[in-house]
Amino acid sequence: MSLKYRVIPVTPFEQNCTLLWCTETHKAAVVDPGGDLDRIRAAAKAEGVTLEKILLTHAHIDHAGGTAELAKSEELPIEGPHKEDNFWIQGLAMQAQMFGFPAPEVFTPNRWLEDGDTVTVGNETLEVLHTPGHTPGHVVFFHRGSKLAQVGDVLFNGSIGRTDFPKGDYNTLIHSIREKLFPLGDDVNFICGHGPMSTFGQERATNPFVSDHRG
């Protein structure tokens, strides 16, 4: 495997922050550093990798709360999410108040991502899919070589992302899952923002919200 990963649950929401690294260069990206940065740094040290950048699927606080601090302390560029999530970044203090998190610093990504863009981790390339519905600027990272997707809070093992937050939309989310994610292949493994991993095939067969057999 040219791309390896380690899932690091962070914050009281048990958000699946992921350390992704290229086995050739030992360069790594941190996907969705919501908090508990010492845990993330310790994982990078244990795996013997060098942090190269931060990738964000979306800007809810449990995914993005530690971004500014980690970017500053480790001198890392921030890539993602899509610019439609900027209002969530600007509202991080409000989110912190709402959910009882310490107020994080607001940041501006070095690069906003669009559908069809690519990002690199060491020598490996991941495709970017814009997948609105949970948030309007949500993106998914897909590594075709290892058939691995980082889907944030779009899709879960047996469930889907919430759509009752500002600018969330149920029909848009279902469209993102069925038209953007499922065509990538039944054999794609995905890391979701919370809970255990699954495959698109399993969700297509059994997920009550998006399966081929639903109502």
Tens of pLDDT, residues 153-196: 999 999 999 999 999 999 999 999 999 999 999 999 999 999 99
Token pair recorded at residue 36: 């508990």
Q: What is the reported pTM?
A: 0.98
- Whole-angstrom Cα distance, residue 200 to residue 171? 19
Q: Does the domain at residues 3-206 carry the CATH identifier 3.40.30.10? A: no
pLDDT band at 215 (very low <50, low <70, confident <90, very high): low
- Residue 213 is predicted with a pLDDT of 77
* Whole-angstrom distance, CA of residue 82 vs CA of residue 91: 16
Whether residue 136 has a cis bond before it, omega within 30° of 0: no
Model pLDDT for residues 89-111, shown as the tens digit of each residue: 999 999 999 999 999 999 999 99
The backbone torsions φ and ψ at residue 32, rounded to the nearest 5 degrees and listed phi first, read 60, 65
- Of the candidates 126, 187, 179, the residue with the CA atom closest to the CA atom of residue 154: 179
pLDDT tier, 139 (very low <50, low <70, confident <90, very high otherwise): very high
